[in-house]
Structure 1
Amino acid sequence: MLSIYGVYRSRASRNYWLAGELGLPFVSVPVVQTRRVDDPHAADAPLNTQSPEFLAVNPTGLIPCIDDGGFVMTESLAINLYLARKHGGPLSGQTVTEEAEMLQWTMWAATEVEPHAVKIILALDTNAAESEAGRLTIRGAAKALKTCFRRFDQHLAATGHVVGDRFTVADLNVAEVFRYAMSQPQLFDAAPNVKAWLERCQARPAFRAMMETRAKELE
């Protein structure tokens, strides 16, 4: 049985979404980020990223991670590539070239898009956006993302998908990164192919089911 460690309000959302797409049975272990706990070492503290029980599974103290029949793995986007490859089907690469492209676009999203998009999310989550410094951070991150949006918009113009002519794990991985920038509608308005693609990804039943569960979690 697959176990997914991490709350839905974390990057574990990516793994929960993919498990839904693949129809995989899994056990959710709701490990909370330490920053969300007043005293992570208190006797009544919820299971968190510094809890000894979790560190015994993942010594890095980061979520998400999975335990797939004794195989423990971290890094949300890499986990998805592994699960798609293991279980096959249309979400996985059908050729070596497709697998390479899925890895390429996943790495691109992680290294070129996510660092800037995360700055926006953190500024909003900490209410820093209400300060001048926070507003400058968000504007700077959005400006840096313009090139990424433009390049990706051109790529999607051909087939509307990240790899091949169908929804794959690459679409899911990249969509979850672009979700972090949704507070900046001007970026999507300037990249209509990206906007339409993300709307299609987020209209999928497995995404909606994941987000419904996410919405039920405590802030």
Structure 2
Amino acid sequence: MADLKIYGIARSRAFRVLWAAKELGLPYDHVQIGFDGSNKTPEYLAVNPLGTVPTIADGAFRLSESLAINLYLAKRAGSPLYPAALEDEARTWQWTLFAATELDFPILDWARHTMVLPPEKRDPAVAAKALSTLAPKLALIDGAVRERPYLLGDRFTIADLNVASVMYRLLWGDLTRTPAAKAWLDRCYDRPAAREARALRE
């Protein structure tokens, strides 16, 4: 049994953590906690009182919030995925917070109203507004990877994983206006660990 436990189903934000663990080569136990009531049992609420997923238990240490978990795991592993230079570490935080605050919710709005909700409940105006909100954010990513393969330079890092994992649903989106961002996203998801994590949820 591994010391690291990842709580959450792969079709949730736990996908991001599963990808990171596979990328880092960390052994883990995957505890299937979803939104079917298993996240509200006394046993799980003792791990995460809010009942949200994902959560990790690393020995006695508990941590929630998927992107924070990924930063922790990459640094804990002493992996090249976590940058050594202070400036690159700061840029990793910047890109991670950008993904959480600028990308996550408009991507969810777009996905809900194009793919997730039943057709009769979809609102094209909400999807269009989400795309309009996303346009300058995607342009920013496009500019960042136009002259280099990854967000921090020549090497894939946890910054790329965090941003790309938030953009998962855009794998089915039209990114023709931002071709460099599209090529970068495809490059991230072509990694063996990404393919393994996708296989858990698709």
TM-score (norm 2): 0.94
Shift of 1:89: 2.2
Q: 1:150 aligns with which of 124, 139, 158?
A: 139
Match among 125, 129, 144 for residue 116 of structure 2: 125
| Structure 2 unaligned regions, length at least 5 | none
Q: Partners in 2 of 1:208 and 1:182 — Cα distance?
A: 13
2-structure distance, mates of 1:178, 1:160: 17
The CA RMSD over aligned residues, in Å, is 1.3
Contact 1:120/1:181 (<8 A) preserved: no
Moved over 6 A (4+): none
For 1:200 and 1:139, locate their aligned partners in 2 and report how far apart those are by CA, in whole Å.
Answer: 27
Is 1:164 aligned with 2:153?
A: yes
Aligned to 2:7: 5
- In structure 2, the residue matched to 1:45 is none
Q: Could you tell me how far 1:50 is from its partner in structure 2?
A: 1.2
Is 1:104 equivalent to 2:94 in the alignment? yes
Aligned match of 2:198: 211
How far, CA to CA, are the matches of 1:147 and 1:130 in structure 2? 29
Tell me how far apart the structure 2 counterparts of residues 101 and 95 of structure 1 sit (CA, whole Å).
10
- Structure 2 distance, partners of 1:51, 1:150, is 43
For residues 13 and 192 of structure 1, the distance between their equivalents in structure 2, rounded to whole angstroms, comes to: 25
Q: CA deviation at 1:122?
A: 2.8
Gaps of 5+ in 1: 41-47
Distance in 1, Cα, partners of 2:148 & 2:173? 25
Task: Provide TM-score, normalisation by structure 1.
Answer: 0.87
